[in-house]
């Protein structure tokens, strides 16, 4: 078996170690494939699908989990790819709460940032008054949970289970009622959570946010060493 | 919804709590001089991870109790004594010292007046009684630069080696055993090297609470196949991830590890080559452990012989095995013996100098490694160079321009003794709180009250500051730039994020100003220049400076910091003392055996949310909210025997004193013992502890004394 494979991404040739994903290969040559569920700190799971690309296969492939193959010709910028990403974003935004607790405090809601990149002012699937009421869990002294803003990307679950190894978080429910849960689906503040904050740190949306920042609008003016 | 707009900047620093040394960034609200958020950074020890203290426990920096002006004790508040100790009435159920109770005994002063008084009194005692009548406690919470300056002032300015810090209460015995055994007190392998270990022995420590981010890497290793052998007297949560959990009886460590070595030798699992080429004194060790077959110690240790044998076989058969230990090993009157056993265990199996092997005493404080490296120890100058070595002393006399004392100074507990006897007349305490942290606080109280002059420099009015003649307001870690060295020997630079409140000053400035006032001027252009002078008198740090450390730091030794991260594994070919010395140890009796009157063993320690004497964490809203009060943990069987239910108020008493505290009935603790965390002044564990110390490490036996427990009549509030 060869140690490396060669492929092209958007026409650019690239050679990567065997087993590298398309997302890693694209990143190596400066092609930015959007992600919501993926983080370089975690095992890729390919659940949000916004990183889909064309590889010539029957259907679109999630770049964060798809290994590169010798001679593969990857396109990240076709109409089909763009249409799919827009559709996914519109679906995710359909019941997204306004405002997002992340966007209004630290301004780094990754879903809304991606929507801006795709010039999505509104979603065709928007349901007026996305029912955030009753879907918020404020039982933790450090983190506010807004299930309405959760996109089930599993970052929090991987952060809890695979980075901090606290094994408090999981998915619970089926179909449309699927949601992130603590222990056997008890409020966060009543669970075995040790308040390390990893879930809040890795969450890309307004689902898990820092309670102490509520009411603030933090704008970082200056990144200094 | 628009929130209050905060214009912020991001400052890279290091977490100020434990020895793991997590790199983080603080998001700073510049206009209001406060931190609004902490973010994990991609540091070598944490890979972006933080725990509850690092992520949410920074708000103590802007607490209203911060000292902002120098204070001088009022005339009518003499004779000196504790001012708030009994202030636990119904109006104030616990928590840190209330300034309202203590401040009326002090008046605000200018820096000039306060420093003048400090200089006059300390220099006066030096002139009248000699330098050895003075002493200093520095702190492992300060930076390397501060530790270096502090010990330089005590040694060259005061003229005594009476300088020590909380390492004495922490790993002094581990360091004594390591210096004796291999000639170096630092860890041989970094925490994250556990990923490459087949087996890891994790003993006398509770990493998920006390080194939470290090624990994540241990749990990760376990998930990937590393077998954890967890040994303790109180089941730590890391045991959930262990191949074996062995609950030994308090104080039976030496017998247990001798029995493991007995099995390893009997079964031929030793590394004969390593023993022959890298160690000495194996025959004596072999002769001693021959007396400890598992069958004969099983009952004493409280572990079946078969399980001791199995643990030994797992350790002995591992291709690479690593040993982690904490205060459960070190804080005994036989702490040095405990550590000697662990060192010998690693040596006879050849587990040093390779990936996934070695010895890692988990350091407690963020800078206990660095403070020790910088010479905040009575027997040694920076980099463990002995004060009684004439050549070494001559070098430091030339560097510091003063004659230096050839006599090793007093340790923490010996300084307390000295103050009681009247031999120590004046003290400078920077950032330590011995009135809560040291054993037998009744004794510490008498000692502090007897001092002719005490200056305390801190960020809060601590219980110790209540005994002071002068209190100087220092700066929190987030308010200064300086380096700290973590448990992995990683030297990392913390950068100033906040301005000190009011007239509070940088601690290194204050040290220099006191030096000036006692007639020993110390002047530096900036804190980086202090580091350079410190590094220049060591081998370990010689290649390092603030610029090269940058945002990510280096592991020392690091001969080529421009191109290398430094050494995550040391002693690949030889030890600093050449061959490792195997030191056999025999089981010794506890300092205070249990009896009919005091039938339970008291164990002390920490909880996840709090830090030591609680001066910082109990002033953090989140941390105090999560863990607001002390508790005594007791096994259900013992609780039933004493008629105690979960949540009952009880009195715990030893021969030194008694505390009132709420009971937590839990089966994680061994029968026959109870556990009290050290953080809560109103239920202060160290009222109970025994002041006896280990003969080599001089560390107190915080993990063992005899107590009794009794239920109190129902009480409506704390």
Q: How far is CA B458 from CA B14, B418, B433, B474, in A?
A: 20, 23, 9, 5
d(CA B139, CA B367): 8
- pLDDT at position B91, please? 41
Helix (H) or strand (E) holding A198: helix A198-202
Cα distance between residue B329 and residue B231, in whole Å: 10
Q: Under an 8 Å CB criterion, which residues of A touch B?
A: 41, 99, 104-106, 141-142, 162-165, 194-198, 201, 210, 212-225
Residues of A within 8 A of B39 (CB-CB) are 201
Cβ–Cβ gap A201/B55 under 8 Å: yes
What are the φ and ψ backbone dihedral angles of B10, each rounded to 5 degrees?
Answer: -110, 125
- Report the C-alpha gap between A204 and A112 in whole angstroms: 10
Q: How high is the pLDDT of residue B713? A: 81
**Cα of A83 to nearest chain B Cα, Å:** 32
Cβ neighbours of A84 (radius 10 Å)? 18
Per-residue pLDDT reduced to its tens digit, B551-566: 999 999 999 999 999 9
CATH number for the domain formed by residue range(s) A4-77: 3.10.20.740
* Dihedral over alpha carbons B119, B124, B127, B130 (to 10 degrees): -90
> What residues of chain B score a pLDDT lower than 50?
89-92, 716-718
**What are the DSSP E strand ranges found in B431-486?**
453-458, 470-473, 482-485
**% chain A with pLDDT above 70:** 95
State whether residue B389 is helix, strand or coil. Answer: coil
Question: For residue A217, which residues of chain B lie inside 8 Å, CB to CB?
Answer: 2-6
The rounded distance, in Å, linking the Cα atoms of B153 and B512 is: 8
Identify the CA nearest to B710 among candidates B656, B655, B632. Answer: B632
ipTM surpassing 0.90: yes
Task: Please indicate whether, in this complex, the C-beta atoms of A104 and B36 are within 8 angstroms of each other.
Answer: no
The DSSP element (H or E) to which B491 belongs, if any, is strand B490-494
What average pLDDT does range A182-193 have in this prediction?
A: 97
Domains and CATH numbers, chain B: 8-62 (2.20.25.90), 71-85+94-165+366-537 (3.40.50.740), 172-362 (3.40.228.10), 600-711 (2.40.40.20)
**CA-based nearest residue in chain B for residue A99:** B1
Task: Give the integer Cα–Cα distance in Å for B586 and B346.
Answer: 18
Task: Report the gap between the CA of A111 and the closest CA in chain B (Å).
Answer: 19
- Taking the CA of residue B692 and the nearest CA in chain A, the distance in Å comes to 35
CA distance B231 to chain A (A): 20
**What are phi and psi for residue B180, nearest 5 degrees?**
-65, -40
What local confidence, expressed as pLDDT, does residue B382 receive? 97
Chain B interface disruption, residue of A106, A149, A195, most B CBs within 10 A:
A195
Question: Quick check: B37 and A212 CB within 8 A?
Answer: yes
Using an 8 Å Cβ cutoff, are B24 and B17 in contact? no
Q: Which residues pair with A4 in a beta bridge?
A: A17
Nearest CB neighbour to B52, from listed A162, A197, A223? A197
Q: Lowest-confidence range among A80-89, A214-223, B123-132, B662-671?
A: A214-223
Instruction: Give A120 to chain B, closest Cα distance, Å.
Output: 21
- What are the strands, taking DSSP E only, across B311-459? 321-325, 358-361, 380-381, 385-386, 426-430, 453-458
Q: Which residues of A touch B2 (CB under 8 A)?
A: 104, 217
Substitution target from A203, A208, A220 for chain B, most B beta carbons within 10 A? A220
Q: Residue B269: how many CB atoms within 10 A of its CB?
A: 17
pLDDT exceeds cutoff 80 at A32: yes
Distance (Å, whole) CA B53 – CA B29: 20
Show the tokens assigned to B378: 């009575």
Q: Give the whole-angstrom CA distance, residue B368 versus residue B382.
A: 13
Give the phi and the psi of residue A95 in degrees, each rounded to 5.
-120, 25
B554-B559-B563-B568 Cα dihedral, nearest 10 degrees: -50
- pLDDT for B429 equals 98
How many Cβ atoms sit within 10 Å of the Cβ of residue B406?
12
Nearest-by-Cβ selection for A196 from B37, B51, B223: B51
Pairwise CB contact (< 8 Å): B9 & A41: no
User: What pLDDT is recorded for position A122?
Assistant: 83
List residues of B whose CB lies inside 8 A of any A CB: 1-12, 27, 29, 36-37, 39-40, 47-52, 55-56, 59, 208, 212, 215-216, 219-220, 223, 241, 495, 550-551, 608, 622, 625-626
- Is A142 in contact with B56 (Cβ distance < 8 A)? yes
- Cβ-Cβ contacts under 8 Å, A41 against chain B: 47-48
Structure confidence at residue B87 (pLDDT): 66
A144, A160, A165, A222, best to mutate vs chain B, most B CBs in 10 Å: A165
Partners of B37 on chain A (C-beta within 8 Å) are 106, 210, 212-213, 218
- Give the tokens for residue B551: 């945002």
Beta-carbon-side half-sphere exposure of residue B71 (alpha carbons within 13 Å):
28
- Residue A44 clears pLDDT 60, i.e. is over it: yes
Cis amide prior to B137 (ω within 30 degrees): no
| CATH level 2 (architecture), domain A87-213 | 2-Layer Sandwich (3.30)
B224: how many CB neighbours lie within 10 A of its CB?
9
Which among A197, A222, A224 has the least Cβ separation from residue B50?
A: A197
Q: Are B655 and B689 in contact (CB under 8 A)?
A: no
Average pLDDT score over residue span A116-132: 79
What is the Cα–Cα distance from B286 to B273, expressed in whole angstroms? Answer: 16
Nearest CA among B555, B508, B525, B620 for reference residue B142: B508
Q: Decide: helix, strand or coil at residue A191.
A: coil
pLDDT at A221: 86
Chain segment A52-79, per-residue pLDDT in tens: 999 999 999 999 999 999 999 999 999 9
Beta carbons of B9 and A198 less than 8 Å apart: no
Return the residue of A nearest to B220 by Cα: A165
Binary contact (A196, B55; C-beta < 8 A): yes
What is the per-residue pLDDT for B104? 95
Domain boundaries, chain A: 4-77, 87-213
The H or E element that residue B148 is part of is: helix B144-152
Min CA distance, A218 vs chain B (Å)? 5
């Amino acid at each position: 078996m060869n140690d490396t494979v060669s492929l092209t991404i958007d026409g650019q040739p690239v050679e990567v170690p065997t087993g590298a994903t398309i997302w890693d290969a694209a990143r190596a040559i400066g092609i930015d494939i959007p992600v919501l569920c993926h983080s370089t700190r975690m095992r890729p799971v390919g659940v949000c699908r916004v990183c889909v690309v064309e590889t010539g296969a029957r259907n679109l492939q999630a770049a964060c989990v798809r290994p590169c193959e010798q001679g593969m010709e990857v396109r990240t910028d076709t109409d089909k790819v763009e249409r799919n990403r827009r559709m996914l974003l519109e679906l995710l935004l359909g019941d997204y709460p306004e405002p997002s607790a992340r966007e209004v405090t630290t301004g780094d809601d990754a879903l809304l940032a991606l929507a801006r990149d795709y010039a999505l002012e509104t979603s065709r699937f928007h349901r007026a008054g996305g029912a955030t009421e009753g879907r918020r869990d404020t039982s933790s002294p450090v983190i506010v949970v807004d299930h309405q803003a959760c996109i089930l990307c599993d970052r929090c679950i991987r952060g809890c289970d695979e980075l901090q190894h606290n094994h408090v978080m999981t998915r619970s429910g089926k179909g449309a009622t699927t949601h992130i849960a603590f222990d056997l689906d008890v409020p966060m503040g009543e669970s075995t959570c040790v308040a390390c904050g990893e879930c809040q740190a890795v969450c890309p949306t307004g689902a898990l946010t820092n309670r102490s920042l509520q009411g603030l609008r933090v704008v970082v003016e200056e990144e200094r060493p | 919804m628009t929130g209050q707009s905060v214009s912020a900047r991001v400052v890279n620093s290091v977490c100020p709590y434990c020895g793991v040394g997590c790199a983080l960034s603080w998001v700073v609200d510049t206009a209001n001089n406060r931190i609004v958020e902490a973010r994990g950074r991609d540091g070598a020890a944490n890979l972006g991870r933080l725990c509850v203290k690092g992520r949410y426990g920074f708000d103590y920096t802007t607490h209203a109790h911060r000292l902002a002006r120098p204070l001088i004790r009022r005339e009518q508040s003499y004779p000196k004594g504790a001012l708030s100790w009994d202030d636990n009435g119904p109006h104030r159920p616990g928590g840190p010292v209330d300034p309202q109770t203590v401040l009326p005994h002090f008046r605000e002063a200018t820096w000039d007046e306060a420093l003048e008084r400090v200089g006059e009194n300390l220099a006066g005692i030096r002139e009248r009684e000699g330098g050895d009548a003075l002493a200093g406690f520095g702190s492992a919470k300060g930076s390397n630069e501060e530790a270096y300056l502090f010990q330089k002032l005590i040694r060259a300015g005061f003229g005594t080696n009476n300088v020590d810090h909380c390492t004495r209460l922490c790993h002094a015995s581990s360091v004594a055993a390591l210096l004796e055994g291999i000639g170096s007190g630092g860890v041989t392998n970094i925490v994250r090297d556990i990923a490459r270990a087949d087996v890891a022995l994790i003993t006398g420590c509770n990493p998920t609470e006390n080194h939470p981010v290090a624990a994540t890497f241990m749990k990760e290793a376990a998930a990937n196949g590393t077998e954890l052998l967890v040994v303790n007297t109180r089941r730590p949560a890391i045991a959930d991830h262990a191949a074996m959990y062995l609950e030994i009886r308090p104080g039976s460590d030496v017998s247990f590890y001798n029995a493991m070595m007995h099995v390893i030798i009997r079964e031929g699992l030793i590394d004969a080559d390593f023993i022959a080429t890298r160690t000495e004194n194996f025959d004596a060790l072999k002769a001693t452990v021959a007396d400890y077959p598992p069958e004969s110690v099983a009952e004493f240790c409280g572990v079946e012989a078969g399980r001791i044998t199995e643990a030994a076989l797992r350790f002995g058969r591992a291709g690479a095995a690593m040993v982690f230990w904490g205060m459960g090993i070190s804080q005994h009157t036989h702490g040095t013996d405990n550590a000697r056993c662990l060192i010998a265990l690693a040596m006879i199996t050849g587990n040093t100098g390779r990936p996934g092997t070695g010895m890692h005493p988990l350091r407690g404080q963020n800078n206990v490694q660095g403070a020790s490296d910088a010479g905040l120890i009575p027997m040694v100058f920076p980099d463990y160079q002995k004060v009684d070595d004439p050549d070494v002393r001559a070098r430091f006399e030339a560097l510091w321009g003063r004659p230096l004392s050839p006599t090793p100074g007093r340790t923490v507990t010996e300084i307390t003794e000295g103050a009681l006897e009247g031999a120590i007349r004046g003290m400078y305490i920077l950032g330590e709180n011995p009135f809560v942290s040291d054993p037998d606080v009744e004794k510490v109280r008498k000692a502090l009250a007897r001092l002719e002059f005490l200056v305390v420099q801190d960020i809060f009015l601590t219980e110790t500051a209540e005994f002071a003649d002068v209190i100087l307001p220092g700066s929190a870690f987030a308010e200064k730039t300086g380096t700290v060295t973590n448990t992995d020997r990683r030297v990392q630079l913390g950068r100033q994020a906040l301005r000190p409140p009011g007239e509070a000053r940088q601690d290194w400035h204050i040290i220099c100003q006191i030096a000036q006032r006692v007639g020993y001027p110390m002047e530096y252009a900036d804190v980086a220049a202090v580091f350079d002078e410190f590094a220049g008198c060591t081998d370990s740090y010689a290649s390092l400076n603030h610029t090269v450390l940058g945002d990510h730091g280096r592991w020392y030794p690091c001969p080529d910091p421009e191109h290398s991260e430094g050494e995550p594994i040391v002693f690949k070919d030889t030890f600093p003392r050449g061959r490792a010395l195997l030191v056999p140890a025999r089981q010794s009796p506890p300092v205070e055996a249990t009896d009919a009157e005091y039938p339970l063993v008291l164990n002390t320690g920490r909880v996840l949310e709090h830090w030591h004497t609680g001066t910082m964490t109990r002033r953090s809203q989140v941390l105090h909210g999560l863990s607001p009060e002390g508790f005594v943990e007791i096994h259900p069987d013992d609780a039933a025997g004493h008629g105690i239910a979960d949540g009952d108020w009880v009195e715990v008493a030893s021969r030194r004193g008694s505390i009132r505290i709420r009971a937590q009935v839990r089966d994680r603790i061994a029968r026959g013992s109870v556990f009290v965390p050290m953080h809560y002044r109103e239920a202060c564990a160290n009222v109970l502890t025994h002041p006896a110390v280990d003969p080599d490490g001089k560390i107190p036996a915080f993990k063992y004394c005899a107590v009794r427990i009794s239920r109190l009549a129902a009480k409506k509030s704390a």
